[in-house]
Amino acid sequence: MNFMHWVCPTCNHIVSDILTYEQVREMFDYDEDTGILTWKIRYGYKHPGDEVGYMEYGYKIHTTNKRDTGVHRLVWLWYYGKYPDQFIDHINGIKIDNRICNLRDVSQRENLHNKQRHREGKSLGVFFNQWEQRWDARIFFEHKQYRLGVYDTEELALSAYKVAQKEIEEGKAPGYYQPKNKYRFHVRVPKNQKSN
pLDDT mean by block of 10 residues, the chain; 196 residues: 46 60 92 93 89 86 82 93 88 86 83 57 72 83 77 86 80 56 41 48
Q: So what's the pLDDT on residue 115?
A: 61
Q: So what's the pLDDT on residue 173?
A: 66
Q: So what's the pLDDT on residue 1?
A: 35
Instruction: Give the separation between CA 50 and CA 13, rounded to whole angstroms.
Output: 24
Q: So what's the pLDDT on residue 154?
A: 85
Amino acid at 135: W
Q: So what's the pLDDT on residue 30?
A: 95
| Domains parsed from the chain with CATH numbers | 4-112 (3.90.75), 125-196 (3.30.730)
> Does the predicted TM-score (pTM) go above 0.75?
no
User: What region does 69 belong to: left with phi over 0, alpha with psi -120 to 50, or beta?
Assistant: beta
8 Å CB contact between 165 and 131:
no
Which helix (H) or strand (E) segment holds residue 148: the answer is strand 144-151
8 Å CB contact between 73 and 105:
no
Dihedral Cα 19, 36, 83, 25, nearest 10 deg: 50
* Tally of CA atoms within 13 A in the half-sphere of 138 that contains its CB: 10
DSSP H helices, 32-153, are 71-80, 108-118
Instruction: Give the separation between CA 175 and CA 191, rounded to whole angstroms.
Output: 34
